[in-house]
Amino acid sequence: MTASVADQAWLHDRATRAVIDALEAAGGPGCVRFVGGCVRNALMGQAVDDIDMATRLLPEASVAALRAAGLKVVPTGLAHGTVTAVSGRKPHEITTLRRDVETDGRKAVVAFTDDWSEDAARRDFRLNALYADGDGQVFDPTGHGVEDVRHGRIVFVGDPGTRIEEDYLRILRFFRFYAWYGRGAPDAEGLAACAEHAPGMSRLSAERVSKELLKLLSAPRPVAAVEAMAASGVLAVILPEAGSLEALRVMAAMSEDVVLRLSTLLPVEAAGIEAAARRLRLPNAMLARLVAAAPPLDLAMSEREARATLYRVGRGAFLDRVFRAEAMTGQPGSGDGLRSLAEAWAIPRLPVGGRHVAAAGLAAGPETGRVLAAFEAGWIADDFPAEGHRERLSALVEPLLRA
């Protein structure tokens, strides 16, 4: 099936053409092609973020050709044949055609080749094994990549089990790409291979696993992919805490926020959340947000109660708790009033401090903190009155002065 991406603006961008021209000056016409995501997304009519290229040139020859053309070169992965050319302040990743010599389920030892079909044979999915030359003509070495793009099929290149045994991360990539690009049911053969090889994911680093999981959850419609992960036993391997997916279904329809979506798959209590987040090596800021969003929130609370909670936890954590409560109770939209209040109410600052306590006659010391804490508790309980602070403080200090 013939296809073209000749209408893509990035294909004709001056910076990109400079990279193509530099490499072809050394290796001749056709020695370099666009590959992978940029070709796939262009055929799907989706945004292209990264420009990746494959070339017959050996890495050292690529570096020399690019530098001869006056382009900046970053040797990002010479051992695996990858260099990055910076042209027009844009990175263009260029990798020499490769074939796998040895794999262990996490990384591969490669040898360079000049055969496009060999390079395609080591890639994960047929829709990622697409190439396009400088004129935009698409090459489909597997013979099925273009059709897979058009029909939303995520199908492994060759035997699914073999591809997975080369790198067990491809199990999660199968579901991630299905979440982003798949239509209809997942490929049955690929799904069965993922289920069979799921225990092999224990070889993967936590960082690689969490990165794929978060990318999956950031897809516009992640639920079908997570359901397939659960049914195949894959989800239980990477996130054994996950139970019912009903809260995720509700949350995914309400919010695109990946942290909120992830929160629905984690335990309710803070200790369980922290244990799962640390096992996945999530960033500390994400862990803190997940824990802050965990305490249950009563969606029927009064405005007065809402203001007290807002003051104590802050606007961000409060809004997260509203979303999470809606998802956990299956009541989307029931927290709209609380959201509106949180967005409109200016959270006040405590109107008194140590100097006010001193002015009331109490010498600095441990009692100062206790007086301020008592003042704050009463101020919150009375719904943050704007006046009467001196009188309230005096009423707290005077008994101490008489003691």
CB-CB contact of 207 with 171 (8 Å): no
CA gap 262, 74 in Å, rounded: 35
- Domain extents in the chain: 1-151, 303-344, 354-402
> 337-383 pLDDT, tens per residue?
999 999 999 999 999 999 999 998 998 899 999 999 999 999 999 99
In this prediction, residues 191-195 reach a mean pLDDT of 98
Compute φ and ψ for 294, nearest 5 degrees: -75, -45
Nearest Cα residue to 131 out of 302, 5, 316: 5
- What CA–CA distance (Å, rounded) separates 262 from 222? 11
Radius of gyration of the chain, Cα coordinates, nearest whole angstrom:
29
pLDDT, residue 168, reads 96
Q: Tell me, what's the pLDDT at 146?
A: 97
List pLDDT tens digits, range 273-327.
999 999 999 999 999 999 999 999 999 999 999 999 999 999 999 999 999 999 9
Q: Is the pLDDT of residue 105 over 70?
A: no
Spatial separation of the C-alpha atoms in residues 366 and 364, rounded to whole Å = 7
* Residues facing 54 on adjacent strands: 33, 95
| pLDDT digits 0-9 by tens, 205-252 | 999 999 999 999 999 999 999 999 999 999 999 999 998 999 999 999
* Residue pointed to by tokens 């005077």: 398
Query: Would you state the pLDDT for residue 108?
Result: 66
Q: Any idea which architecture 1-151 has in CATH?
A: 2-Layer Sandwich (3.30)
Other CB atoms closer than 10 Å to residue 233's CB: what's the count?
A: 13
E strand or H helix at 32, and its extent? strand 32-35
Q: What is the pTM for the complete model shown?
A: 0.89
Alpha-carbon dihedral 116, 26, 36, 71, rounded to 10 degrees: 160
